[in-house]
Amino acid sequence: MIHQNLALVTGANGHLGNNLMRLLISKGIPVRGSVRDLENRASFSDLHAEMVKADITDKRSLILAMQDVEVVYAVGAAFKLWAKDPVKEIYDVNLQGTRNLIEAAAEAGVKKIVYVSSIAALDYSKLPAKESNGQNPDRRDMYYNSKNDGETLAFELARKHNIELVAVLPSAMIGSEAYGSLSVSYNIIKLVLNKEIPVETKITLNWVDVKDVAEGCYLAATKGRSGERYILANEKCTSIKQTTQIAQELFPELKIKLPVAVPKPVLYFAAWLMELGGKLSGKAPLLSVKDIAMFSGLQQNFDISKARNELGFNPKSPVQVVKESMLYLMKNSDRLMKS
Protein backbone atom coordinates (compact mmCIF):
# COMPACT_ATOMS: atom_id res chain seq x y z
CA MET A 1 0.00 0.00 0.00
CA ILE A 2 1.45 3.37 -1.02
CA HIS A 3 1.24 6.05 1.67
CA GLN A 4 1.32 9.72 0.89
CA ASN A 5 4.39 11.26 2.62
CA LEU A 6 5.74 7.99 4.07
CA ALA A 7 8.91 8.70 6.07
CA LEU A 8 11.78 6.30 6.73
CA VAL A 9 13.91 6.73 9.85
CA THR A 10 17.18 4.76 9.72
CA GLY A 11 18.84 3.81 13.01
CA ALA A 12 15.36 3.79 14.55
CA ASN A 13 16.36 2.25 17.87
CA GLY A 14 19.06 4.82 18.59
CA HIS A 15 18.52 7.78 20.93
CA LEU A 16 17.60 10.26 18.17
CA GLY A 17 16.01 7.73 15.79
CA ASN A 18 13.57 6.49 18.39
CA ASN A 19 12.54 9.98 19.54
CA LEU A 20 12.18 11.10 15.93
CA MET A 21 9.87 8.19 15.10
CA ARG A 22 7.69 9.05 18.11
CA LEU A 23 7.52 12.70 17.03
CA LEU A 24 6.54 11.88 13.43
CA ILE A 25 3.87 9.42 14.61
CA SER A 26 2.46 12.12 16.94
CA LYS A 27 2.18 14.42 13.89
CA GLY A 28 0.17 11.78 12.02
CA ILE A 29 2.97 11.03 9.54
CA PRO A 30 3.16 7.38 8.42
CA VAL A 31 6.55 6.08 9.54
CA ARG A 32 8.76 3.14 8.72
CA GLY A 33 11.74 2.51 10.96
CA SER A 34 14.82 0.56 9.95
CA VAL A 35 17.01 -1.27 12.47
CA ARG A 36 19.87 -3.72 12.16
CA ASP A 37 18.25 -6.24 14.49
CA LEU A 38 14.47 -6.72 14.54
CA GLU A 39 14.77 -9.02 17.57
CA ASN A 40 16.00 -6.13 19.71
CA ARG A 41 12.45 -4.80 20.16
CA ALA A 42 12.55 -3.16 23.60
CA SER A 43 12.82 0.44 22.39
CA PHE A 44 10.02 0.30 19.79
CA SER A 45 7.59 -2.41 20.98
CA ASP A 46 4.98 0.24 21.89
CA LEU A 47 5.16 2.10 18.55
CA HIS A 48 2.57 1.98 15.79
CA ALA A 49 5.05 1.89 12.95
CA GLU A 50 6.29 -0.57 10.38
CA MET A 51 9.73 -1.85 11.33
CA VAL A 52 12.13 -3.29 8.76
CA LYS A 53 15.63 -4.68 8.87
CA ALA A 54 18.29 -2.60 7.11
CA ASP A 55 21.93 -1.75 7.59
CA ILE A 56 23.84 1.21 6.13
CA THR A 57 26.61 -1.21 5.10
CA ASP A 58 24.13 -3.18 2.94
CA LYS A 59 22.80 -1.12 0.03
CA ARG A 60 20.26 -3.77 -1.06
CA SER A 61 18.59 -3.68 2.37
CA LEU A 62 18.33 0.13 2.16
CA ILE A 63 16.73 0.02 -1.30
CA LEU A 64 14.07 -2.37 0.06
CA ALA A 65 13.50 -0.20 3.14
CA MET A 66 13.03 2.88 0.93
CA GLN A 67 10.24 1.50 -1.28
CA ASP A 68 7.39 4.10 -1.59
CA VAL A 69 9.21 6.45 0.80
CA GLU A 70 9.06 10.20 0.23
CA VAL A 71 11.43 11.48 2.94
CA VAL A 72 14.40 9.64 4.44
CA TYR A 73 15.72 10.71 7.82
CA ALA A 74 19.29 9.40 7.67
CA VAL A 75 19.99 8.94 11.38
CA GLY A 76 21.81 5.58 11.46
CA ALA A 77 25.62 5.81 11.72
CA ALA A 78 28.51 4.44 13.76
CA PHE A 79 28.57 6.89 16.68
CA LYS A 80 31.58 6.15 18.82
CA LEU A 81 34.72 8.11 19.55
CA TRP A 82 36.86 5.04 20.22
CA ALA A 83 37.45 1.73 18.48
CA LYS A 84 40.25 -0.82 18.23
CA ASP A 85 40.44 -0.08 14.51
CA PRO A 86 38.89 3.40 14.09
CA VAL A 87 39.41 3.59 10.32
CA LYS A 88 37.62 0.31 9.66
CA GLU A 89 35.02 0.45 12.44
CA ILE A 90 34.08 4.14 12.28
CA TYR A 91 35.38 5.99 9.22
CA ASP A 92 34.80 3.34 6.54
CA VAL A 93 31.38 2.37 7.96
CA ASN A 94 30.12 5.96 7.94
CA LEU A 95 31.53 6.87 4.52
CA GLN A 96 30.33 3.69 2.82
CA GLY A 97 27.04 4.05 4.70
CA THR A 98 26.52 7.55 3.31
CA ARG A 99 27.31 6.39 -0.23
CA ASN A 100 24.97 3.40 0.08
CA LEU A 101 22.20 5.53 1.53
CA ILE A 102 22.17 8.17 -1.22
CA GLU A 103 22.60 5.65 -4.03
CA ALA A 104 19.76 3.53 -2.57
CA ALA A 105 17.56 6.65 -2.30
CA ALA A 106 18.25 7.47 -5.95
CA GLU A 107 17.35 3.91 -6.98
CA ALA A 108 14.17 3.87 -4.87
CA GLY A 109 12.98 7.27 -6.13
CA VAL A 110 13.20 9.10 -2.78
CA LYS A 111 12.56 12.85 -3.14
CA LYS A 112 14.19 14.24 0.00
CA ILE A 113 16.81 13.31 2.61
CA VAL A 114 17.39 14.89 6.01
CA TYR A 115 21.00 13.90 6.63
CA VAL A 116 22.05 13.81 10.27
CA SER A 117 25.59 15.15 10.35
CA SER A 118 27.17 16.48 13.57
CA ILE A 119 28.70 19.55 15.18
CA ALA A 120 31.91 17.54 14.62
CA ALA A 121 31.67 18.82 11.03
CA LEU A 122 32.07 22.50 12.00
CA ASP A 123 35.10 24.75 11.99
CA TYR A 124 35.74 25.98 15.56
CA SER A 125 38.56 28.38 14.70
CA LYS A 126 36.13 31.35 14.84
CA LEU A 127 33.60 31.34 17.70
CA PRO A 128 30.67 31.17 17.89
CA ALA A 129 30.93 28.49 15.19
CA LYS A 130 28.37 28.74 12.42
CA GLU A 131 27.38 26.73 9.34
CA SER A 132 29.10 29.06 6.89
CA ASN A 133 32.50 28.57 8.58
CA GLY A 134 32.78 25.36 6.53
CA GLN A 135 34.15 21.95 7.53
CA ASN A 136 36.32 21.16 10.55
CA PRO A 137 40.04 21.35 9.60
CA ASP A 138 41.05 19.26 12.66
CA ARG A 139 41.80 15.78 11.29
CA ARG A 140 42.89 13.99 14.48
CA ASP A 141 39.73 11.97 15.13
CA MET A 142 38.24 9.28 12.87
CA TYR A 143 34.64 9.90 13.99
CA TYR A 144 35.06 13.63 13.30
CA ASN A 145 36.66 12.86 9.93
CA SER A 146 33.80 10.51 9.03
CA LYS A 147 31.22 13.23 9.80
CA ASN A 148 33.11 15.90 7.82
CA ASP A 149 33.81 13.73 4.78
CA GLY A 150 30.42 11.99 5.03
CA GLU A 151 28.53 15.27 4.88
CA THR A 152 30.60 16.53 1.94
CA LEU A 153 30.00 13.24 0.11
CA ALA A 154 26.26 13.34 0.89
CA PHE A 155 25.84 16.80 -0.69
CA GLU A 156 27.94 15.76 -3.69
CA LEU A 157 25.96 12.56 -4.38
CA ALA A 158 22.59 14.23 -3.74
CA ARG A 159 23.43 16.87 -6.38
CA LYS A 160 24.54 14.15 -8.79
CA HIS A 161 21.31 12.14 -8.31
CA ASN A 162 19.08 15.21 -8.13
CA ILE A 163 17.79 14.51 -4.60
CA GLU A 164 16.93 17.32 -2.18
CA LEU A 165 19.26 17.02 0.80
CA VAL A 166 19.30 19.09 3.99
CA ALA A 167 21.98 18.44 6.64
CA VAL A 168 21.35 18.90 10.36
CA LEU A 169 24.24 19.13 12.84
CA PRO A 170 23.22 18.17 16.38
CA SER A 171 25.37 18.59 19.49
CA ALA A 172 25.39 16.34 22.60
CA MET A 173 21.87 14.91 22.83
CA ILE A 174 20.36 14.03 26.20
CA GLY A 175 16.79 14.58 27.44
CA SER A 176 13.92 13.61 29.69
CA GLU A 177 13.65 10.08 28.25
CA ALA A 178 16.04 7.48 26.89
CA TYR A 179 14.86 4.48 24.91
CA GLY A 180 17.09 1.43 24.59
CA SER A 181 20.68 1.69 25.79
CA LEU A 182 22.21 5.01 26.85
CA SER A 183 23.91 7.14 24.19
CA VAL A 184 27.53 8.32 24.41
CA SER A 185 26.38 11.79 25.55
CA TYR A 186 23.93 10.39 28.08
CA ASN A 187 26.70 8.24 29.55
CA ILE A 188 28.58 11.40 30.59
CA ILE A 189 25.60 12.45 32.74
CA LYS A 190 25.62 8.96 34.23
CA LEU A 191 29.35 9.21 35.03
CA VAL A 192 28.77 12.52 36.84
CA LEU A 193 25.97 11.03 38.96
CA ASN A 194 28.04 7.91 39.68
CA LYS A 195 30.96 10.12 40.83
CA GLU A 196 33.22 8.70 38.14
CA ILE A 197 34.72 12.00 36.89
CA PRO A 198 37.22 12.90 39.63
CA VAL A 199 39.52 15.26 37.71
CA GLU A 200 38.88 18.53 35.86
CA THR A 201 39.55 18.04 32.15
CA LYS A 202 38.28 21.48 30.99
CA ILE A 203 36.17 19.58 28.46
CA THR A 204 32.84 21.22 27.60
CA LEU A 205 29.72 19.84 26.00
CA ASN A 206 26.92 21.58 24.20
CA TRP A 207 23.88 19.91 25.76
CA VAL A 208 20.66 19.78 23.75
CA ASP A 209 17.36 17.97 24.28
CA VAL A 210 17.01 15.04 21.88
CA LYS A 211 13.32 15.95 21.47
CA ASP A 212 14.35 19.42 20.25
CA VAL A 213 16.74 17.79 17.76
CA ALA A 214 13.94 15.46 16.57
CA GLU A 215 11.72 18.52 16.06
CA GLY A 216 14.63 20.20 14.23
CA CYS A 217 14.92 17.20 11.87
CA TYR A 218 11.20 17.42 11.08
CA LEU A 219 11.47 21.21 10.54
CA ALA A 220 14.46 20.60 8.24
CA ALA A 221 12.30 18.25 6.15
CA THR A 222 9.45 20.75 5.93
CA LYS A 223 11.22 24.14 5.87
CA GLY A 224 14.92 23.46 5.26
CA ARG A 225 16.52 24.57 2.02
CA SER A 226 18.12 21.86 -0.08
CA GLY A 227 21.92 22.00 -0.05
CA GLU A 228 21.99 23.83 3.31
CA ARG A 229 23.18 22.81 6.78
CA TYR A 230 21.56 23.73 10.09
CA ILE A 231 23.10 23.56 13.58
CA LEU A 232 20.75 21.93 16.11
CA ALA A 233 22.39 22.88 19.40
CA ASN A 234 22.33 25.51 22.13
CA GLU A 235 24.28 28.78 21.93
CA LYS A 236 26.48 28.12 24.93
CA CYS A 237 28.39 25.04 26.02
CA THR A 238 28.54 23.70 29.58
CA SER A 239 31.71 22.42 31.23
CA ILE A 240 31.80 19.05 33.01
CA LYS A 241 32.41 21.09 36.17
CA GLN A 242 29.23 23.14 35.65
CA THR A 243 27.33 19.93 34.85
CA THR A 244 28.61 18.49 38.16
CA GLN A 245 27.43 21.64 40.00
CA ILE A 246 23.90 21.05 38.67
CA ALA A 247 24.06 17.48 40.03
CA GLN A 248 25.24 18.77 43.43
CA GLU A 249 22.29 21.16 43.67
CA LEU A 250 19.76 18.55 42.54
CA PHE A 251 21.01 15.70 44.73
CA PRO A 252 22.85 17.06 47.79
CA GLU A 253 22.40 13.66 49.47
CA LEU A 254 24.74 12.06 46.89
CA LYS A 255 27.63 14.26 48.12
CA ILE A 256 29.09 14.56 44.62
CA LYS A 257 32.46 16.36 44.68
CA LEU A 258 33.58 18.81 42.02
CA PRO A 259 36.31 17.50 39.72
CA VAL A 260 39.77 18.44 41.01
CA ALA A 261 42.14 20.49 38.86
CA VAL A 262 45.39 18.67 38.05
CA PRO A 263 48.39 19.76 35.93
CA LYS A 264 48.04 18.92 32.24
CA PRO A 265 50.93 16.39 32.18
CA VAL A 266 49.15 14.43 34.94
CA LEU A 267 45.94 14.51 32.90
CA TYR A 268 47.77 13.25 29.81
CA PHE A 269 49.44 10.47 31.80
CA ALA A 270 46.09 9.37 33.30
CA ALA A 271 44.52 9.36 29.82
CA TRP A 272 47.46 7.35 28.44
CA LEU A 273 46.98 4.74 31.20
CA MET A 274 43.23 4.53 30.51
CA GLU A 275 43.90 4.09 26.80
CA LEU A 276 46.36 1.32 27.51
CA GLY A 277 43.68 -0.38 29.61
CA GLY A 278 41.20 0.06 26.78
CA LYS A 279 43.53 -1.58 24.27
CA LEU A 280 43.94 -4.57 26.59
CA SER A 281 40.27 -4.94 27.52
CA GLY A 282 38.75 -3.91 24.16
CA LYS A 283 36.51 -1.45 26.02
CA ALA A 284 36.44 2.30 25.35
CA PRO A 285 38.57 4.19 27.89
CA LEU A 286 36.94 6.93 29.96
CA LEU A 287 39.45 9.38 28.53
CA SER A 288 42.01 9.25 25.74
CA VAL A 289 45.09 11.37 25.02
CA LYS A 290 43.35 12.62 21.87
CA ASP A 291 40.28 13.69 23.90
CA ILE A 292 42.48 15.96 26.03
CA ALA A 293 44.43 17.27 23.02
CA MET A 294 41.31 18.00 20.95
CA PHE A 295 38.68 19.00 23.48
CA SER A 296 40.29 20.36 26.66
CA GLY A 297 39.51 24.07 26.66
CA LEU A 298 37.52 23.93 23.40
CA GLN A 299 34.44 26.15 23.70
CA GLN A 300 31.58 24.52 21.78
CA ASN A 301 29.59 27.73 21.33
CA PHE A 302 27.37 28.17 18.28
CA ASP A 303 25.52 30.78 16.31
CA ILE A 304 22.14 29.04 15.86
CA SER A 305 20.37 32.02 14.28
CA LYS A 306 20.06 30.24 10.90
CA ALA A 307 18.15 27.28 12.41
CA ARG A 308 16.07 29.67 14.57
CA ASN A 309 15.15 31.98 11.68
CA GLU A 310 14.72 29.52 8.82
CA LEU A 311 13.37 26.47 10.65
CA GLY A 312 11.83 27.90 13.82
CA PHE A 313 14.21 25.80 15.95
CA ASN A 314 13.91 26.83 19.60
CA PRO A 315 15.81 24.55 22.01
CA LYS A 316 15.35 24.21 25.77
CA SER A 317 18.13 25.75 27.86
CA PRO A 318 21.14 23.51 28.64
CA VAL A 319 20.56 23.75 32.41
CA GLN A 320 16.97 22.59 32.05
CA VAL A 321 17.98 19.70 29.76
CA VAL A 322 20.72 18.56 32.16
CA LYS A 323 18.32 18.69 35.13
CA GLU A 324 15.62 16.72 33.32
CA SER A 325 18.15 14.12 32.17
CA MET A 326 19.58 13.68 35.67
CA LEU A 327 16.12 13.37 37.25
CA TYR A 328 15.16 10.80 34.61
CA LEU A 329 18.31 8.74 35.18
CA MET A 330 17.87 8.75 38.95
CA LYS A 331 14.20 7.81 38.66
CA ASN A 332 15.12 4.90 36.40
CA SER A 333 18.40 4.14 38.16
CA ASP A 334 17.74 0.41 38.56
CA ARG A 335 17.40 0.03 34.80
CA LEU A 336 19.87 2.62 33.50
CA MET A 337 22.55 3.60 36.01
CA LYS A 338 24.08 0.14 36.26
CA SER A 339 23.85 -0.78 32.58
Mean pLDDT for each 10-residue chunk of the chain (339 residues)?
78 94 96 92 86 96 97 93 91 97 98 97 96 95 96 98 98 91 90 94 96 98 98 97 97 96 94 93 91 94 98 98 96 75
Q: How far apart (Å, rounded) are the C-alpha atoms in residues 90 and 84?
A: 10
Would you state the pLDDT for residue 34?
A: 96
Q: How many residues in total does the chain contain?
A: 339
Architecture of domain 7-184+208-234+301-325: 3-Layer(aba) Sandwich (3.40)
Would you state the pLDDT for residue 1?
A: 44
Residue 5, CA distances (Å) to 42, 114, 321 in order: 27, 14, 32
> Biggest alpha carbon distance in the chain?
63
pTM of the model: 0.96
Q: Assign residue 59 a region (left: φ > 0; alpha: ψ between -120 and 50; beta: otherwise).
A: alpha
Q: Which of 148, 188, 182 is nearest to 18 (CA)?
A: 182
Would you state the pLDDT for residue 334?
A: 78
Q: How far apart (Å, rounded) are the C-alpha atoms in residues 146 and 151?
A: 8
Q: How far apart (Å, rounded) are the C-alpha atoms in residues 197 and 86?
A: 25
Q: Domain limits of the chain?
A: 7-184+208-234+301-325
